[in-house]
Amino acid sequence: MSRIFLIGFMGCGKTTWGKKLSAATGYAFIDLDNALEAEAGMSVAEYFAAHGEEAFRKLESKVLKETEYPEDVIVSTGGGLPCFFDNMVWMNSHGQSLYIKHSPKTLADRLENARVKRPLVQGKSGDELVNFISQKLAERKMYYEQATHIVNGITISAEGLMEVTGIKAK
Ligand SMILES: Nc1ncnc2c1ncn2[C@@H]1O[C@H](COP(=O)(O)OP(=O)(O)O)[C@@H](O)[C@H]1O
Ligand SMILES: O=C(O)C1=C[C@@H](OP(=O)(O)O)[C@@H](O)[C@H](O)C1
Ligand SMILES: [Mg+2]
């Protein structure tokens, strides 16, 4: 049984690389934001607007721990998930976690075009967006750096992810 949890800031590529690694290995793929949306019956943005962040974090942790994971699976998490409750410890004791690391500037460039679905960065752009990311990343770093593996998001590849986690194509 191999379970790989991809973690890191919004825009680092957890969803994108989760799908690519799943395609390269034949492992199943689960995006926990999608699992939460299915459970809540609404989008992440709608859930934030209706219930607020505190309720979102509780549901997010419940979905992490109660999802029925296939035997071999790549799991993309939401960017804030490792930083609440005992989620980080839970992931490391139920599989391997892998932090996709990027600079605030790269994350901001990517998020400029992908803000709509992400309530925490909606309405921010330019320097305000870079500053927001720098500050949040500084707060979150201590959680992300508890990951089993840390990879550079710029030089990442499916082969590199397979090598570092030790998983093989099925
Ligand atoms: N290797 C890449 N190069 C450039 N842009 C990328 C790359 N990977 C993802 N993106 C873009 O960055 C944004 C966020 O990617 P996504 O996989 O949704 O990140 P996450 O799930 O970590 O928030 C998307 O708009 C996506 O198209
Ligand atoms: O960083 C965060 O707090 C969040 C990241 C999002 O997931 P992505 O990292 O996939 O954008 C989503 O869970 C929600 O908007 C909150
Ligand atoms: Mg995602």
Within a domain: residue 44? Answer: yes
What does the pLDDT look like over 22-41, one tens digit per residue? 999 999 999 999 999 999 99
ipTM of predicted complex: 0.97
Within a domain: residue 65? Answer: yes
**pTM of structure:** 0.98
Ligand 2 pocket test, candidate residues 117, 118, 135, most atoms within 8 A of CB = 118
Within a domain: residue 92? Answer: yes
In the numeric block, the tokens 């590199």 are attached to 160
**Structure confidence at residue 115 (pLDDT):** 81
What's the CATH number where 83 sits?
3.40.50.300
Structural domain range at position 69: 2-7+13-100+147-165
Total domains present in the chain = 1
Within a domain: residue 154? Answer: yes
User: Is 166 within any annotated ligand binding site?
Assistant: no
Percent of the chain with pLDDT over 90: 96
User: Is 14 within any annotated ligand binding site?
Assistant: yes
Atom of ligand 1 nearest to the CA of 113: 25
User: Is 16 within any annotated ligand binding site?
Assistant: yes
Atom 18 of ligand 1, nearest CA residue: 15
**Structure confidence at residue 114 (pLDDT):** 84
Nearest listed ligand to the Cα of residue 114: 1
Within a domain: residue 79? Answer: yes
What does the pLDDT look like over 55-96, one tens digit per residue? 999 999 999 999 999 999 999 999 999 999 999 999 999 999
Residue range 133-161: mean pLDDT, rounded: 98
Within a domain: residue 112? Answer: no
Distance 133 CA to ligand 2 centre (A): 12
User: Is 15 within any annotated ligand binding site?
Assistant: yes
Within a domain: residue 108? Answer: no
Atom 4 of ligand 2, nearest CA residue: 79
Distance 129 CA to ligand 1 centre (A): 16
What does the pLDDT look like over 100-110, one tens digit per residue? 999 999 999 99
Atom of ligand 1 nearest to the CA of 118: 23
Distance 11 CA to ligand 1 centre (A): 5
Within a domain: residue 72? Answer: yes
